[in-house]
């Protein structure tokens, strides 16, 4: 661990709860409750499990970062917009109005992309809810 990382950890609130311990390898995060740890993918580009395996054309192109304070029980993940008024707006209108706003996640902004296998609606429901 670098000295900078150690200093940052020691100044964080997490330091009150735990300690840095050198391991013999990579310590993976437990997957228990992973469904509640939205956004999904390494770049945060998918806000619900419903949208994760679907085709790119059905994935929201923009969503409000601050809406993460609310949970979407039906789609399992983050509510896409903090203001219900914006639910009536098209992605095109939202992109035009909020596309450069850093409080909104615009999937068209240059970031590292992650590819996910797509599947149909019934298969998505089965993956989320079980057989």
Question: Per residue in 66-87, pLDDT tens?
Answer: 888 888 888 888 888 999 999 9
Residue 2, in any domain of the structure? no
What phi and psi values does residue 40 have, to the nearest 5 degrees? -105, 160
In sequence order, what are the beta bridge partners of 64? 104
Query: Could you please report the per-residue DSSP string of 5-28?
Result: HHHHHHHSGGGGT------SS--P
Q: How far apart are CA 54 and CA 117, in angstroms?
A: 8
Residue 46 DSSP class:
B
**Number of domains present in the structure of the chain:** 1
Residue 116 has pLDDT above 60, yes or no: no
Residue 5, in any domain of the structure? no
pLDDT band at residue 47 using 50, 70 and 90 as cut-offs: confident
Residue 24, in any domain of the structure? no
């Amino acid at each position: 661990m670098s000295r900078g990382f150690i200093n940052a950890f020691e100044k964080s609130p997490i330091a009150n709860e735990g300690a840095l311990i050198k391991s013999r390898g990579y310590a993976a995060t437990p997957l228990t409750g992973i469904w509640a740890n939205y956004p999904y993918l390494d770049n945060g580009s998918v806000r619900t499990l419903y949208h994760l395996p679907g085709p790119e054309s059905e994935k929201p192109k923009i969503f409000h970062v601050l809406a993460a304070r609310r949970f979407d029980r039906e789609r399992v993940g983050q509510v896409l917009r903090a203001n219900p008024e914006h639910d009536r707006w098209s992605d095109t209108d939202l992109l035009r109005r909020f596309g450069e706003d850093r409080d909104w996640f615009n999937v068209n902004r240059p970031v590292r992309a992650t590819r996910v296998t797509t599947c149909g609606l019934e298969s998505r429901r089965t993956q989320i809810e079980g057989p």
